[in-house]
Amino acid sequence: MINEFTIMGKVSKTPEKRSTSSGKSYVNLKVWTSNGKDESGEYRDPDHHDIQIWGKAAETAAKWLKQGDWVIVNGSLKSGKYEDKDGKTVYTYRPHAHRWQFGPKVESAGDIL
């Protein structure tokens, strides 16, 4: 079985380092991606991804990544569940990054999309 993702997009908000009560570092990285262009040449609505990065990779991301940077993120999906206020079970899936790197340096999104 394979549980892996790769996303290349733009950082939509500069990540801030946070820590758990036990001292483990993490950031919530927000990345938007394009769904290409439609028949008329207009960009389709972007997708926004909330990705968690942990440990040393999180510390480095908080130090170097800024809003507007292109980034490539690799990781896996983590599942979870909780009960909502009506007692209904809600299942969640969240991307967790294992590694990231700066994306290409380009003048505009059109250069690579």
Q: What is the pLDDT of residue 40?
A: 87
pLDDT of the chain, 113 residues: tens digit per residue: 899 999 999 999 999 999 999 999 999 999 999 887 888 887 778 889 999 999 999 999 999 999 999 999 999 999 999 999 999 999 999 999 999 999 887 665 555 55
Q: What pTM value is reported for the model?
A: 0.78
CA 78 to chain centre: 13
User: Domain coordinates of the chain in residue numbers?
Assistant: 5-106
Question: What pLDDT is stored for residue 108 in this prediction?
Answer: 57
Characterise 68 by phi-psi region: left (phi > 0), alpha (psi -120 to 50), beta (else): left
Identify the pLDDT of residue 82: 95
E-strand stretches of the chain: 5-13, 18-19, 25-33, 47-54, 70-83, 89-102
pLDDT for 37 equals 80
CATH number 2.130.10.10 is the correct assignment for the domain at 5-106: no
Q: Which residue has the tokens 């979870």?
A: 80
The number of angstroms, rounded, from the C-alpha of 7 to the middle of its chain's C-alpha atoms is 7
